[in-house]
Amino acid sequence: MVALPVVRASNTALVQSHPLVVVFVGGTSGIGEYTIRALAATHGDQGKGLRIHIVGRNAAAAKQTIAYCRSVCSRGQFLFVKANDLSLLKDVDRVCAEIVRLEEKETAPNGGKPSLDLLVMSQAYFPLLFQPRKGTYIIPCLLTSQTPHHAHPHPDFVHD
Query: Would you count residue 28 as binding ligand NAP (CB under 6 A)?
Result: yes
Q: How many CB atoms lie within 10 A of CB 34?
A: 13
Query: 61 to 100, contacts with ligand NAP by CB under 6 A?
Result: 83, 85-87
CA dihedral angle for residue 87, residue 127, residue 82, residue 32, rounded to 10 degrees: 120
Sole binder of ligand NAP in the list 122, 136, 137, 149 (CB under 6 A): 122
DSSP per residue over 23-59, as a string?
Answer: EEETTTSHHHHHHHHHHHHHHTTTSS-EEEEEEES-H
Of 31 and 72, the one with the shorter C-beta distance to ligand NAP is: 31
Sole binder of ligand NAP in the list 7, 9, 10, 30 (CB under 6 A): 30
Q: Which stretch binds ligand NAP (CB under 6 A): 6-14, 36-44, 52-60, 107-115?
A: 52-60
Q: Cβ distance 95 to 80 under 8 Å? A: no
| Contacting residues toward ligand NAP, per CB under 6 A | 26-32, 56-58, 83, 85-87, 122-124
